[in-house]
Amino acid sequence: MKKYMILLIAALVFCCTGIQAGEFGDLLSRLDSRDFSAEKDVALKTDGPYKGETSNPHEDTIMFKARAELFGKIMEARLSADLKAQVNAFLADAVQQDIKSDTKSWLIRQFPYTATAKEVSVLVPFLKNSDKMLVDAAASALGKIALPEAKSALEANSDVPAAKAALITFNNTVPPLQPAETVKPLALENTSKADFDEWMKGYSKLSDQEKVCTIAAITARQDTQYRNIVREAIASDSAELKKAGFLALEKLATKEDVDFLVGKLADEHDLALRLCGFIVADGFDDALLAKFNQAADPKQFLDLATILINRSVDIRKDVFAKTTAENCPARIELLKQIVKICTPADVPELLASVLLLDRKDLNTGENLIAGCCNGDASPIIKLLGKYPPAVIYPIMCRTGGNAAKAELSRGLDSSDPALLEAAFRSLAQWTDALFADKMMAIITSEKYPEGLKISILRAYIRVMSLPDDKIGIKITNDQRLANLKNAFNLSTRLDEKRWVLSRLAPNRSIQSFEFVLECAADPDLAEAAYSAIVDHAHDTAFRNTYAKQVLPALNLVIEKTKNKKLVERANLYKGRMM
């Protein structure tokens, strides 16, 4: 009988050894297989940037793959008692083997993740080892094992400098090395319904931080049963709880929360407005729409319209009913929102609304219509007849495109006084230099009023200084400069002369720079010229190419200008030339 018992015990030992061998196999030999020659000149073997800048450049070698494999087992072992025992047994055995010091040191440093009191006794002898690398590794590991046995071992060996240092770390570091997800409230996401309900019974006694984590767990569990807790958090005085509540309600809200969220627009306007745009819930749009249709307050109407538009709910008819009415307090704000979902087919309603705007908002309104047309003014031109050219042409010219070009040409050649006047006045709105010749003809004519000529002159300066990809005509830099200098000479007011100087830098050349220097001698134009000098010097290539001309000019600006910011910029560019 004794013989059979001995055989049975031997078989069990063999099986256990087999399990461990099957689990870890040749892992130790691979861990100890580092070949520095294989890592040499690794940067030369890569086609892209050096891998070491973002990750381990040697991660594909046998040894580093083995380290990653073992570390994966260690992470798993933290959640499994059986695997933890196997990992600890492997580590305890491995560090006793005849392997390289750097391999052994690395293995020792892995003990804190899974160590028990038993493993502490494995590490203690290394504190007296002759290899300083192993002494430091053992002391560091013991300093991270939150067990009294580890502390006692360090205290008993405090004559070892590394152990003494690790003891300081131990006394100042209390959190154990364990997965945070196994501790409540962080573990609540995956706990049972019964455990979660039990935890929630004590919710009122939790700290604000614990409540924040609990609300996050409610969100992750999609537990609408506790939606009232989320709403209480939003209503609290704690900024952290309020933030957590809003984040949770984005995922948990139902149509029943619409009244609550609309109420929050009064004191948490921006956050509630943003949140309502993201909520996905059955019937939520319908509930918002019902509130929208009942809204009597202009501010609430605008807020609800903004939310519905951001949710791509088609409320154009309802909004246009407001914006085309005589009395609409938030007309321009409503138009700014509704244009997000408008199409060119909505131009008639948009125009009817824009014509009711206050004068200060008219420019913005016309731009909204132009933006809605996407570069095709056809829907605007179709309204000629219903509205006079004086209304249609400015918006048409802001929009641009072939249809607008053809209609504006027709207006400029027309014998109809009303159409011709509208074309002339709208010419200043045209987007490129296509009609530059027509503009110059008006500017140089004696038969047009001075106000119109100034408006066209400013438009001419604007379009003539556009970059090549926007100017709309073929023109050289020399021709462009000549045209701008001509506009400068035709200007009867200082405003337009200064406007020319401010528009030279985008197409800078040494000739434009010399022109600016000439203008700097005129006291009335000096400040505009100083600004233009600095704008020219902003370009590094220009600054370095024409250093002999630029440096004295910057010194002139620094000496003469009263604009402190201009002096700072001039000094900056001057410093970069030294």
Q: At residue 269, does pLDDT exceed 50?
A: yes
What whole-number distance in Å separates Cα of residue 320 and Cα of residue 36? 75
What whole-number distance in Å separates Cα of residue 440 and Cα of residue 486? 10
Q: At residue 32, does pLDDT exceed 70?
A: yes
436-486 residue pLDDT tens: 999 999 999 988 889 999 999 999 999 999 998 889 899 999 999 999 999
* Per-residue confidence (pLDDT) for residue 417, from 0 to 100: 86
59-108 residue pLDDT tens: 778 888 888 889 888 988 878 888 999 999 999 999 999 999 999 999 99
307-347 residue pLDDT tens: 999 999 999 999 999 999 988 888 999 999 999 999 999 99
Q: At residue 6, does pLDDT exceed 80?
A: no
* Per-residue confidence (pLDDT) for residue 381, from 0 to 100: 95
What whole-number distance in Å separates Cα of residue 245 and Cα of residue 230? 5
Asked if residue 223 lies in contact with residue 230, where contact means CB atoms within 8 angstroms, the answer is no
HSE-CB of 171 using CA atoms within 13 angstroms: 9
Mean pLDDT for all residues in the chain: 87
Which structure tokens are listed for 184? 């409540």
Q: At residue 13, does pLDDT exceed 80?
A: no
Asked if residue 199 lies in contact with residue 184, where contact means CB atoms within 8 angstroms, the answer is yes
Percentage of residues of the chain with pLDDT beyond 90: 59
Least-confidence region, from 21-35, 37-51, 187-201:
37-51
368-377 residue pLDDT tens: 999 999 889 9
What whole-number distance in Å separates Cα of residue 571 and Cα of residue 578? 11
* Per-residue confidence (pLDDT) for residue 18, from 0 to 100: 36
**DSSP state string for 6-53:** HHHHHHHHHHHHHHHHHHHTTHHHHHT---HHHHTTGGGG-SSS-GGG
Long-range contacts of 438-445 (CB under 8 A, 24+ apart): 438/412, 439/463, 443/487, 443/490, 444/490
Higher pLDDT, 168 or 372: 372
Q: Across residues 240-259, what is the average pLDDT?
A: 91
* Per-residue confidence (pLDDT) for residue 36, from 0 to 100: 60
* Residue pointed to by tokens 């993740």: 113
Higher pLDDT, 4 or 202: 202
Spatial CB neighbours of 558, under 8 Å, sequence gap ≥ 6? 567, 570, 571, 574
Measured in degrees and rounded to the nearest 5, phi and psi for residue 388 equal -70, 160
Q: At residue 382, does pLDDT exceed 80?
A: yes
Q: At residue 16, does pLDDT exceed 50?
A: no
Q: At residue 179, does pLDDT exceed 80?
A: no
Q: Specify burial of residue 474 (Cβ count, 10 A radius: 0-12, 13-18, 19+).
A: exposed
Confidence of residue 182 (pLDDT cuts 50, 70, 90): low
Higher pLDDT, 76 or 6: 76
Measured in degrees and rounded to the nearest 5, phi and psi for residue 179 equal -60, 130
Long-range contacts of 96-103 (CB under 8 A, 24+ apart): 97/28, 99/28, 99/31, 99/32, 100/32, 100/34, 101/131, 101/133, 101/134, 102/34, 102/133, 103/31, 103/32, 103/34
- How many angstroms separate the most distant Cα atoms in the chain? 131
* Per-residue confidence (pLDDT) for residue 431, from 0 to 100: 87
Confidence of residue 509 (pLDDT cuts 50, 70, 90): very high
Percentage of residues of the chain with pLDDT beyond 70: 90
Q: At residue 2, does pLDDT exceed 60?
A: no
* Per-residue confidence (pLDDT) for residue 578, from 0 to 100: 64
* Per-residue confidence (pLDDT) for residue 81, from 0 to 100: 86
Asked if residue 326 lies in contact with residue 354, where contact means CB atoms within 8 angstroms, the answer is no
* Per-residue confidence (pLDDT) for residue 15, from 0 to 100: 39
Confidence of residue 180 (pLDDT cuts 50, 70, 90): low
